[in-house]
Structure 1
Amino acid sequence: MTLFERACIAAGLETPSKFIRAFEQAAALLGEPATVTSRHVRRWWRHIPPPTPRARTWRVIHALLGVDPIELGFLNPPPGVTVGGTALLAQEGTSVDRRAFLGDSIGVAVVAGLPAPAAKLPPAGRRGAIGTAHLIELREGLRSLYHLDNAYGGGDVRSLAVRHLRRIRRVINTASYPETIGRQLQLLAGETAEHCGWLFYDADDQAQARSYWGEALTTATMLRDSSLEILVLASLSMQASYEGRPQDGYDLAHAAQQRATRFGSPTLQSLLASREARALSLMREDSDARRRLAESMRLVDQNDRGRPAPEWADFHGAAELDYAQGLLYTESGHHDRAVNFLRAALEHQDRTYGRNRALYRLTLARSLVTVGNVDEGAAHAVESLGHLEEVESGRVMRRLTEVVDLLERRDAVSARDAAQELREYVHERRAS
C-alpha cells in the first residue's frame, strides 16, 4: 500500500468516489478551480512515485489531507508551489493541537444549540495539522454566531465572537500551512472581525464596532477581497446613518454599490440601494430617497435572475424593505403612512429573527403613539416585553426608551400604565 493510499484511508477516503467528493468540497472552500477523476486517484494510489498533479490540485491535496504531498511520495512540486515554509504541520511547542481545537469548536456548537462536530478530525501530519477540516470547523463556529445573533441580539453573543476571533488569530499565528489555507484563515478572521463589529454596533458600543470594522476592512484590502470589502462598507454606512452622519452613510453605501455592480446579484444591490435611501432620507432628500428605495424594491423582485446574494445578505427581503419604507415615512414626518409599512414589516419578519421582531414592534408602537393611536401603541409596546426577555440589544433598548418617553407625555390611562410597566422593566434590565 502506497503512502498516499494510507493517508486517504486514514482520512476516511478509502474509495475514489469518496476522495473525489471530499476533494471537490475542499477545492470549493479554498477557491481553487481544480477537479480530479477516478483515473487520477487510482494512479496516485498505485504508482510509486505517483504522477505529479498540477499546482492547484497539489494545493488542494495538501490542504485536504493535512500533509505536504512530498511526504506522500510525490517527487517534485509543480511550478507555482513552494516548499519549506508552507508545510501544513503545526510548529513544535505551539498551542495548536487537535484536541484543543476540537474542544473549542464543540464548545461553540453546543452554546449555539447546534449539533457538535464529529469528535475525530482526519488524522494527518505531525502534532495536529491545520487543514480543510479545521477550516470548516472554524467557519461553522462563525455561522453558529450568526444564528445566535439573529435570535438573541448582540449583547451576550459578542463575547463569544471575540473569543472565536482570538481562536482564529491563534491558529494563524501559531501554525504553518499552505498558502490556500492561509488565505482562507485570513479571510475568516476578517469576516469574524466584521461580525464582531456588527455585534458591538447592535449592543450600541459604536467605538468598538468601528475598531473591529476597521480591522475587517484592512483584511479585505490586504486580500483584495471585494465581497468582504462590500460587507464592511455596507456596515459602516449603516453605522454612519445611525450616528447622525447621513452624508458619510450615503458615500459609504454608494462606494459599496459601485463595487457590487460587477457581482450581478440583484439582492445585494437592493440591500445597498436601501442603505443609500436611508441616508438620503436622513439628509431630507426625500424624493431621491423614495427613488432609491423604489429601485431597491425593483431589484429584490429580480433575485431569481442574477447571481445569488452572499450568505450575510440572507436577511434582506420583504420585511427589511417594508421596515425601510416605514422609516422613510417616519423621517419625513408621515407617521400615519409609516404605520402600514411597519405593520407589514412585523408580519413578514421571520420568527427566527427575534431581535428584529422586537425592534420592528417597538418602532410600530412609536409611530402609533405619535399619530394618536395611543391604546394600540401602548399594547404593542407592552407586548414587546415578551421578545425583550430573550433579546440583549442596545439598539432595541434605546428604541424602548424612546417609546416610554412618548407614552409618558400622553394623558391616556393606557399610556400611563404602559409607561410605568415599561419603565420598571428598563430599570430592572439596567440593574441586572
Structure 2
Amino acid sequence: MASSTVPSSQPDRPPRPNPVFRQLRGPRSPAEFAAAVRRAAHEIGERVSCDARYVHRVEAGEIRCPNYAYERVFLHMFPGRTLTDLGFAPRSSVRGRRGRGDGGTPPPVGDPALVTGDTGGPPEPYETRNPYHTHHNYEESDVLRRAFMTGGSATVAAASLGPIALAPDASAAQRAVRRPGASDAGALEDAVRHIRLLDDRHGADGLYRRAAAPLRAAYALLDAGATRQRTVDRLYAGAGELAISVGWLAHDSGRFDDARSHYAEALATARVTGDPGLEAHAFCNTAFLARDAGRPREAVRAAQAAQRAARPLGSPHLMSLLALREAGGWAGLADRAGCEQALARAQAYFDRGPTPADPEWMTFYGEAELECLEAQCWSTLGDWPRAARHARRAAELQDPHFTRNIALYTAELADDLARGGLPDEAASAGMRVLDLLPEVQSCRVRTILAGTARVLLPHRRASGVSAFLDRHASLPRAV
C-alpha cells in the first residue's frame, strides 16, 4: 500500500497525539481495533490494510488526516461523526492536497489511485533497517508504542495473567492502579508459557479469542510503568512474546490479517527496546506467515532479516530454524537450488546441538520439526515421495506431548502420499489424523485434511479410501 507523497504543512513540527481516537479504541488492543477496522471495511466494500502499527500512528498523531478509504470506514464505524470529531485535522488544513471536484467530496469507493495513501506525512521508505516489506514497512518509530501506554490498570493485568492466564474478561478484576513489579513480569511470562502449552496440546482454534484478555492485560502492565529497569525489560519482552503467541494462534486458525498485525506489534516492541531475540522471533513468524499466505519472496526476506538479528545470539538451533524458514520461501519461488542450500545450512546448524543460548520458545524445535519443515519444502517443490519420507519420519519422532504437531505431521504425510499416487496409505494416515481431531482444534490440520480428501475422491474404490472419505465428510463444520 502506498503512502501519500504530500508532506504536512509543518514538517518539522512534532506530531500531536490524537486522544479522541485513543478513547474510541477503548479497552481493545491496537491489534483488536485494527481487526475491527478491517471488518468494518469489508462491510462497506472497502479494502484497507489496517494493522496495529497504523492504529499506533493515528493515535500518536503521525497521520493527521486519513485517506478517503479510511475516512469512509471510520465514518461507518462511528456514524454521525465527522473526521474532526474523531480527532483528525480538517482535510483542508493539510497542505498540498489537490482538489478533486468540489475539493471536499471523497472519490468513489474503490478508486485505486486514492485507496491507500495517508494525508499528513512523508512516504514510508521501502527499506531502511528492516529488509522485510509487505503493505506496510514494519520499521518502528519513537511513538510507535505510545498507544500501548494509555489507560488501563496494572492490577487488572495481574489478575488476568494469573494461573489460568486466559481470563475471559480482564476488566472484572479491576482494582487500584499500582506499579508492576517482578511478580507481574513473572505472571506475564507464565501466561506466554501457558498459551504455548495449550496450543501444543490442543491447537489454536479454541484459544485465539480467549487469549485477547491476557494480551490487553500485558498492555495495562506496560501502561502502569515499572520502576526497575530489569522489570521494564522483562515486561516488554513478555508483552512482545505474548503478541507473537497470540499472533500464532491467529495464524494457525487461518486469521492471517490478525496474525500479521500481532507479529508487527511484536517487531515494533523489539525494535523500540533493542531486543534482538524478540526481533528474530517476530521475523521468524512473519516469514512463516508470508509463506502460508502465498508471498514466498517476502518469506525469504523476513527469514534473512531474522538470521541477521539472531546471528549475535549464539544459538545454532535458532539459526537452523530460521534457515528452514528461508528454505520454505525459496521452495515457494520454485528455486530448488536456493531451497537446497538453505536446507543444508539448517541441517549443519542443527547438528551442532542445543546450547544454553537457545530461546525458551524453541522447545517445539527438535528433529521432528526439522523433518516436517523439510517435508513441506519438498511438497511445495512437487517431490511427493521425498516429502512423504520426511513427513513420516517427523510423525514417528514427535514427542507424544505435542498432540497438535503429531496431527499436523500425519496430515501432511497423508497429503504427500495421496498426491504421490499412494491412496491406500494416504487414507490410513488420514484415519490416524481423524482419531486425533477430538483433541486438536487446528484450522491448518483441517485444511490439509480437506485437500487430501479432494485428491482421494477419484480413488474411492481403493482399499480404505471410501471409509476415510465417509468419515471425513461426517466431520462437524468448524465454527
Do these two structures clear the TM 0.5 threshold for a shared fold by scoring above it? yes
Partner in structure 2 of residue 229 of structure 1:
279
Is 1:261 aligned to residue 311 of structure 2?
yes
Tell me how far 1:94 sits from its aligned partner. Answer: 7.6
Distance 1:369 1:127, change over 3 A: closer
Contact 1:94 1:175 (C-alpha < 8 Å) held by counterparts: no
Partner in structure 2 of residue 340 of structure 1:
389
Contact 1:194 1:213 (C-alpha < 8 Å) held by counterparts: yes
Q: Distance in 2 between matches of 1:328 and 1:175?
A: 45
Distance 1:377 1:218, change over 3 A: same
1:16-95 equivalences in 2 (<5 Å): 95=153
Tell me how far 1:176 sits from its aligned partner. Answer: 5.2
Summarize deviations over 1:23-68 as a string: whole Å, max 9, x none.
Answer: xxxxxxxxxxxxxxxxxxxxxxxxxxxxxxxxxxxxxxxxxxxxxx
Tell me how far 1:300 sits from its aligned partner. Answer: 0.6
Q: Distance in 2 between matches of 1:103 and 1:328?
A: 40
Distance 1:215 1:323, change over 3 A: same
1:2-401 equivalences in 2 (<5 Å): 95-97=153-155, 101-102=158-159, 104-108=161-165, 130-174=180-224, 177-304=227-354, 307-401=356-450
Distance 1:252 1:271, change over 3 A: same
Contact 2:167 2:213 (C-alpha < 8 Å) held by counterparts: no
Q: Distance in 2 between matches of 1:95 and 1:266?
A: 40
Contact 2:177 2:224 (C-alpha < 8 Å) held by counterparts: no
Partner in structure 1 of residue 24 of structure 2:
none
Summarize deviations over 1:95-137 as a string: whole Å, max 9, x none.
Answer: 5449x835750332899xxxxxxxxxxxxxx986522122212
TM-score, structure 2 normalization? 0.63
Deviation larger for 157-166 or 228-237: 157-166
Partner in structure 1 of residue 142 of structure 2:
none
Give 2:194's aligned amino acid.
Answer: S
Q: Secondary structure at the match of 1:156?
A: coil
Q: Distance in 2 between matches of 1:230 and 1:188?
A: 15
Q: Secondary structure at the match of 1:207?
A: helix
Contact 2:160 2:214 (C-alpha < 8 Å) held by counterparts: no
Question: How many residue pairs align between the two structures?
Answer: 321
TM-score, structure 1 normalization? 0.70
Q: Which runs of 5+ in 2 are unaligned?
A: 1-150, 169-175
Q: Distance in 1 between matches of 2:154 and 2:161?
A: 11
Q: Secondary structure at the match of 1:107?
A: coil
Summarize deviations over 1:204-227 as a string: whole Å, max 9, x none.
Answer: 100000111111111111111111
Distance 1:265 1:176, change over 3 A: closer
Distance 1:94 1:323, change over 3 A: closer
Distance 1:314 1:94, change over 3 A: closer
Which has the larger share of helix? 1
Q: Distance in 1 between matches of 2:288 and 2:160?
A: 36
Distance 1:136 1:340, change over 3 A: same
Tell me how far 1:241 sits from its aligned partner. Answer: 0.9
Is 1:402 aligned to residue 442 of structure 2?
no
Q: Secondary structure at the match of 2:377?
A: helix
Contact 1:265 1:303 (C-alpha < 8 Å) held by counterparts: no
Q: Which runs of 5+ in 1 are unaligned?
A: 1-92, 112-125
Q: 1:419 aligns with which of 462, 469, 473?
A: 469
Contact 2:290 2:298 (C-alpha < 8 Å) held by counterparts: yes
What RMSD, in angstroms, separates the aligned Cα atoms of the two structures?
2.3
Deviation larger for 414-423 or 173-182: 173-182
Q: Distance in 2 between matches of 1:247 and 1:94?
A: 40
